[in-house]
């Protein structure tokens, strides 16, 4: 069972939530997958999504790469949700820590996912802590980048259809890192 830990409602009425739980259980329009550019979903969040959502997700991912080429940080791919409770899986390529420009690339992945959600006319989306697992991105820095990027996106695109954005965190160290950054953010802590 996913538990809402923090919630902030923007003046536009859009809601940002910090959630402890399993992203594959999210009943939202789309969940975001922390993907690699080949959309080979073997381990981590990607592996969990395919195990829960079924082989359709990997099949559609393979077709996407064949038709469109490798996926970039700024322009995520999307597939159906397969057997998941969401309609779509947005496949955002997270940066590998140590490859350079990691903060910029993570911001592009978040912004690109939100923009794709708007293009698909979605009203709700759930993100994992992109790149903080096997890609090695420091959890606290990822929390800061993700929270800042979401706030910047919503203020830059007031016509966004996103009514609910959830950050769904699986393990306790990640939850704590995101809670600490949330509390430091003057806008969210208010």
Q: pLDDT of 96-155, one tens digit each?
A: 999 999 999 999 999 999 999 999 999 999 999 999 998 999 999 999 999 999 999 999
Query: What range defines the domain where residue 172 resides?
Result: 3-189
Domain count of the fold of the chain = 1
Q: Report d(CA 68, CA 3) in Å as an integer.
A: 37
The DSSP code sequence of the chain is --EEEEEEE-TTS-EEEEEES-GGG--SSEEEEEE-TT----SHHHHHHHHHH-HHHHHHHHHHHHHH-SPPSSS-EEEE-TTSSSSEEEEEEPPPTTSS-HHHHHHHHHHHHHHHHHHTT-SEEEE--TTSSTT---HHHHHHHHHHHHHHHHHH-TT----EEEEEE-SHHHHHHHHHHHHH-HHHH-
Other CB atoms within 10 A of residue 37 CB:
14
Model pLDDT, residue 23 = 96
Q: Are 121 and 30 in contact (CB under 8 A)?
A: no
Model pLDDT, residue 185 = 84
Q: Report d(CA 42, CA 19) in Å as an integer.
A: 24
pTM above 0.85, yes or no: yes
Give the residue from 12, 56, 21, 55 showing the smallest Cα distance to 126.
21
Q: pLDDT of 52-109, one tens digit each?
A: 999 999 999 999 999 999 999 999 999 999 999 999 999 999 999 999 999 999 999 9
Question: Which CATH number goes with the domain that contains 107?
Answer: 3.40.220.10
**For residues 11-31, average pLDDT:** 95
Q: Report d(CA 54, CA 73) in Å as an integer.
A: 25
Model pLDDT, residue 99 = 93
Model pLDDT, residue 158 = 81
Q: Are 92 and 109 in contact (CB under 8 A)?
A: yes
Indicate whether 190 pLDDT > 80.
no
């Amino acid at each position: 069972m996913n538990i809402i830990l923090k919630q902030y409602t923007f003046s536009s009425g859009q809601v940002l939530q910090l959630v402890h739980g399993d992203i594959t259980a999210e009943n939202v329009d789309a969940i975001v997958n922390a993907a690699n550019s080949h959309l080979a979903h073997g381990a981590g969040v990607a592996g969990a999504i395919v195990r829960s959502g079924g082989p359709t997700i990997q099949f559609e991912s393979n077709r996407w790469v064949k038709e469109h080429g490798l996926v970039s940080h700024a322009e995520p791919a999307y597939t159906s949700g397969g057997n998941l409770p969401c309609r779509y899986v947005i496949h955002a390529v997270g940066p590998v820590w140590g490859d350079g420009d990691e903060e910029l690339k993570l911001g592009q992945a978040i912004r690109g996912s939100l923009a794709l959600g708007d293009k698909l006319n979605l009203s709700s989306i759930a993100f994992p802590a992109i790149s903080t697992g096997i890609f090695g991105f420091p959890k606290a820095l990822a929390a800061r980048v993700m929270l800042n990027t979401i706030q910047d996106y919503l203020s830059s695109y007031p016509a966004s259809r996103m009514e609910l954005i959830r950050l769904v965190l699986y393990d306790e160290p990640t939850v704590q890192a995101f809670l600490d950054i949330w509390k430091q953010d003057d806008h969210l802590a208010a």
